[in-house]
């Protein structure tokens, strides 16, 4: 079964903009990994920081991994 990334992205964006921390993490992860969308570390960081502010542990891990790898991110 094929994954409809465009549909997933749209659904996560709605949830993320409404403040849902899991959607914020998923959206940040998609941008970080280039899953169904072009890699954009700046956008990824913004969403992951929002999720981290709501204590989503995976977002802290992903932000730390991005920092360790030196992935270019604009300061927030």
Q: What is the pLDDT of residues 12-60, one digit of tens each?
A: 999 999 999 999 999 999 999 999 999 999 999 999 999 999 999 999 9
pTM: 0.88
What CA–CA distance (Å, rounded) separates 4 from 52? 26
The whole-number pLDDT of residue 1 equals 78
* Structural contact between residues 39 and 33, judged by C-beta atoms closer than 8 angstroms: yes
Q: Give dist(CA 43, CA 66) in Å, integer.
A: 13
For residue 18, the model assigns a pLDDT of 98
């Amino acid at each position: 079964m094929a994954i409809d990334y465009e549909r997933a992205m749209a659904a996560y964006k709605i949830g993320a903009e409404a403040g849902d921390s899991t959607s914020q993490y998923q959206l940040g992860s998609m941008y970080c990994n280039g899953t169904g969308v072009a890699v954009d570390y700046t956008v990824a960081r913004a969403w992951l920081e929002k999720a981290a502010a709501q204590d989503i542990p995976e977002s802290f891990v992903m932000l730390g991994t991005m920092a360790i790898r030196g992935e270019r991110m604009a300061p927030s």
